[in-house]
Each structure stands twice: as C-alpha cells, then as structure tokens.
Amino acid sequence: MRASKSFKPIALDPTVRAVRLGDQLYELILARIVKGEFAEGERLPSEIRLCEEFGVSRPVVREALSRLQADGLVVSRQGSGSYVMRRPSEEMISIAPAGSIADLMRCFEFRVALEGETAALAAIRRSTDDMKQIDAAMQELDRTLETGEVGTNADIELHMAIARATRNKLFEISLKSIFAQLEGGMQLARSLSLRRSRVRLEKVQQEHSVIVEAIRSEDAEKARAAMRSHIDNARARILTDSLEP
C-alpha cells in the first residue's frame, strides 16, 4: 500500500455560515478522493495531521470523517486510521453545486425514513383519484425517459403525489420543507444516470414502478421497502461508479 499523501494547505472559510466547517472539510477530502489523490484502499492522513493542515479542531475533522464513513466512502480501522473505500465519479463533483454534497446526502438519509412511511400510508389510504395522479406522474416520467430529458420535475411530482395520498398533510409539508435539497438530490442523481446508459434510467423507472404497484395493490410493507430501497439506490448511484450500467 502506498504511503499516505498530504493535502495542499487550503484554509477553510469560517465566515461561510451556510456551510459548516465539517461539511467544507468533507467536500475537500471528497474532491481529492474523486481526483484520485487518495486511491481506493489508501489511508487518509491522521486526524492530527488534518487538524494541522486545515487549521481546524478535532471535532471538525471527526465530523467530516463521520460523514464520509456514513456515505460509505471511508472506513475507520481501529488503531490504523481511515481508509478510502469508494471513489465517486468526477462528474458528481462537476454537477453538484459547490458546498451542497454533504447536505444532499443528509437529505437522502432523511428521505429514507420519511418517504418509506409515506409510501406505506399511501398504500393503505390512497383513493382512486390519488392513483390517477400517481399514474399521471409515472406516465410523465416515461415520457422523459423516451425523450432523454432529466425529468426532475416529474420525479418530484411522483413523490409529492404519493405524499398527498397519505391523507396526512404533514407528509406533504415535510417534503416541501426540504424542497431545495429534494430537487438538488434528484437533479444530481438523474443527471448522472442520464450520462450513463438508457439501461440505468430504465432501472430507476423500474424502481418507481415497484413502488407504484405496491401502492396500487395496497401492500404497505412492500411499498415501504420499495421506497426505502429506491432512495438508498439513488444515493448509492451518486456516490459510486461501480453500480453500472
């Protein structure tokens, strides 16, 4: 295994209130993983070294490493340090707005919990009119697949239609409250899939179909599992190039 490289000193900006220091460091380390400066299987600098190079406290370093570990990009080995496990696509860094990636990943975590229950309740409570709205959103997604569009708006409408089908306004309000992150995550995931192959886009649409059919058949458990799996897969598709096609 190659010796660990050091970072070029890049000062974090404590005046950037919209992005926490831990998130800034997370994205700087992530960028270097993406660029291959730290290869898969390679050890990152120690916490102390990161503190010295970036002029931050150990809690900030640990927060950044914790996020990288939660995203499956880095693994911590007791007594040895943190090692790179996965190298995302360079396209991910180029497409995602600067300073947004950590926040988008948190949104995916939240959505797994929120939308899993949303789909389950929709399966129990949906009406015929609700299914018409859900089917209309699916048809629009099918159209975007055929025309090669990103289809973010249609994707959002499908998830919102499912939230409305719960008959609990708080689910719809909760999704609207994270609209910026929801839209950003979907835009990123769908844009990356669009750059791969039609097969990958068809796989995404198949995941949607499983959710919709579970809701149609009033199978709450299947709807919950399918929605959670879909959101987990979307997150994984952003963070790795290995899930081909």
pTM of the predicted structure, to 2 decimals: 0.80
Which residues of the chain are in CATH 1.10.10.10 domains? Answer: 21-87
pLDDT at 17 over 60: no
Question: Which region among 41-45, 90-94, 104-108 has the lowest average model confidence (pLDDT)?
Answer: 90-94
Give tens-digit pLDDT for 102-135: 888 889 999 999 999 999 999 999 999 999 999 9
In this prediction, residues 219-230 reach a mean pLDDT of 98
Q: Return mean pLDDT, the chain.
A: 87
pLDDT at 99 over 80: no
User: Among residues of the chain, what percentage have pLDDT more than 90?
Assistant: 57
* pLDDT band (50, 70, 90) for residue 8: very low
pLDDT of amino acid 241: 56
CATH code assigned to 21-87 = 1.10.10.10
CATH of 92-239, one of 2.40.160.60, 1.10.730.10, 1.10.940.10, 1.20.120.530: 1.20.120.530
Which residues of the chain are in CATH 1.20.120.530 domains? Answer: 92-239
Longest dimension (CA), the chain: 62
Q: How far apart are CA 113 and CA 178, in angstroms?
A: 14
Q: How far apart are CA 212 and CA 222, in angstroms?
A: 10
Q: How many residues does the chain have?
A: 245
* pLDDT band (50, 70, 90) for residue 148: confident
pLDDT of amino acid 83: 95
* pLDDT band (50, 70, 90) for residue 75: very high
Q: Kindly give, in sequence order, each residue whose CB lies less than 8 Å from that of residue 181, ignoring residues fewer than 6 positions away.
A: 103, 104, 106, 107
* 74 strand-pairing partners: 84
71, 239 contact by CB (below 8 A): yes
